[in-house]
Structure 1
Amino acid sequence: MDINGASAIVTGGASGIGAASARRLAARGAKVVIADLKAEEGEALAKEIDGVFVPVDVTNTDQIIAAIEKAVELGPLKAVVNSAGVGWAQRTIGRDGEFASAHDLDLYKKVIGINLIGTFDVTRLAATAMSRNEPGPSNERGAIVNLASVAAFDGQIGQAAYSSSKGGVVGMTLPVARDLSAVGVRLNTIAPGLIDTPIYGEGPESEAFKAKLGESVLFPKRLGVPDELASMVEELITNSYMNAEVIRVDGGIRMPPK
């Protein structure tokens, strides 16, 4: 699928995998809307790639619609990348046998709300806009890539909320792709492994920690870099025969319990 002259939206696009994906899509000629809460970073990246920054909380439907409307102003919306997400760790029950020590239910709902419901909300609204496009070759109107995680399959101790949310993203891939096939919109999901993003911090201690983490990767024994994920995003957007797939990009890692 050719995205030159079309518009694209990347949620969580101000940093990490989202930023790398935005750069890749812009290099393909797309006008990219950076949809994020990080205004300073988002505006700087938008300027760098000749795109637009729109402040978006993916739990706010009105803000999602505003980003889609801005994208449509720039060109037909043909590509969407859902990389906005959060993650917290907490065990399901406490050690003292008290109800109050069990997993914070509001925290669980928040992670589900951002990672799963937010992803679905962007998907349903963006696909609606894509359905209005003139069909291209193979009657294609657009493509969506969602970001899950290997935690969807190999959830570790304390990852109940995060793994639930990412498992939901994996689980909706096939049925949503089937729904969207009626209007010529493809949907795929990427499950990243350990990726070197700002979440790990900076400095010697951070580098030592990341090196230790990298030892658990099958090969190569290091963390992945955002552009290695973004290259797969680009492929899934532009390869018209990729649809309804969940692809692990993880160096072969299988996460241990902890």
Structure 2
Amino acid sequence: MELSADISAIVTGGASGLGAATAMALAEKGVKVAIFDLQKEKGEEMAAKIGGIFCEVNVTSDESVDAGFAKARAAHGQERILVNCAGTGNAIKTASRSKEDGSIKHFPLDAFDKIIQINLVGTFRCIAKSAAGMMTLEPLSCGDRGAMVNTASVAAEDGQIGQAAYSASKGGVVGMTLPIARDLMREGIRINTILPGIFDTPLLAGAPQPVRDALAAMVPHPPRLGVPNEYAKLALCMIETGYFNGEDVRLDGAIRMAPR
């Protein structure tokens, strides 16, 4: 798919981090970008910066997502690109014993479900609704009606202590990529997933420097945190390269996460 001003895109989680970097990279190619996010102030600031629009969207809500798509499409037309970066995480052991009194507790199931709803179901919700819209378009000369990129995590393959919910949600994103590619293959809609390693995003911005240095030292090469623009470059490669479909690609400096 050739990126140009004739193409519109939606980036979930586009107000900051990996999503913001991708929104900027798409805009630099002339693409009309709509940002879906709950961070209204940051989202509006980013949209103004790239000449796009902001849609306050909660990916766990059908009504909110529908409203976001309606607003984006009214402004930019039917999107041909969807990049899913909205997500969150937590760190809770499956079951644990208190160091103080030896009492035992298990992972609260509502906390587990929250991560699944945002990271996995929210991602699929946006995919399904976007795919239905893309199917109304005529194929481009390359044969594509649209292209999608999802964000999983290396935790999908080597989750650490306390990451049962997060790893399950991201493993689900990886697991559904190929079936979705097969579901949409006759419609000319491609889908791929990136599994980022340890990236320098707002999640780590407040971490003490020794913690950041220790995380960087875990990466074989280059021994540093990932830069959001590196994610954006891979996302654009997946979108622009027509033979890129149904793939899950780690972007992690060859790291394999230890238990903790």
TM-score, length basis structure 2: 0.95
Classify 1:102/1:50 alpha carbon distance in 2 versus 1 (closer, same or farther; 3 Å).
Answer: same
1:143 and 2:147 matched? yes
Listed as ranges, the gaps of 5+ residues in structure 1 are none
Matching residue within 116, 120, 145 for 2:120: 116
Deviation at 1:98, TM superposition (A): 5.9
Q: Is the 8 A contact 2:55 2:72 kept in 1?
A: no
Select the residue among 232, 242, 253 that pairs with 1:230.
232
Paired residue type of 1:55: E
**In 2: Cα distance, 1:114 partner to 1:76 partner:** 24
Q: In the alignment, which residue of structure 1 is the partner of 2:193?
A: 189
Displacement, 1:10? Answer: 0.5
In the alignment, the residues of structure 2 paired with residue 127 and residue 107 of structure 1 have an alpha-carbon distance, to the nearest angstrom, of 29
State the partner residue of 1:62: 63
Question: Compared with structure 1, are the counterparts of its residues 75 and 6 closer, same or farther at alpha carbon in structure 2 (3 Å cutoff)?
Answer: farther
Structure 2: distance between partners of 1:65 and 1:207:
41
- List alignment gaps of at least 5 residues for structure 2: none
Three-state SS of the structure 2 residue aligned to 1:137 is coil
On the 8 A contact 1:91/1:157 being kept in 2, the answer is yes
Counterpart residue number, 1:102: 106
- The residue aligned with 1:251 is 253
1:173 to 173, 177, 180: 177
* Number of aligned positions between the proteins: 255
Partner of 1:159: 163
The Cα shift of 1:75 comes to: 2.8
Displacement of 1:198: 1.1
Which residue of 1 is the match for residue 2 of structure 2? 2
Quick one: distance in 2 between partners of 1:167 and 1:67? 26
Question: Under a length normalisation based on structure 1, what TM-score does the superposition of the two structures give?
Answer: 0.96
Report the Cα distance in structure 2 between the residues aligned to 1:132 and 1:255, rounded to whole angstroms: 42
Q: Provide the rounded CA distance (Å) in 1 between the counterparts of 2:169 and 2:128.
A: 17
Instruction: Give the structure 1 partner of residue 132 of structure 2.
Output: 128
CA distance in 2, matches of 1:193, 1:45: 24
Q: Distance in 2 between matches of 1:231 and 1:69?
A: 28
The percentage of aligned residue pairs carrying the same residue is: 49
Partners of 1:130 and 1:144 lie apart in 2 by 11
Q: Secondary structure at the match of 2:184?
A: helix
Distance 1:98 1:131 in 2: 54
Does residue 216 in structure 1 map to residue 188 in structure 2? no
What whole-Å deviation, never above 9, does each CA across 1:30-50 have from its counterpart, x for those lacking one?
Answer: 111110000000000100100
Q: How far apart are 1:69 and its partner, in Å?
A: 2.0
CA contact (8 A) 1:25 1:234 kept: yes
Please give the secondary structure, in 2, of the residue aligned with 1:94: strand
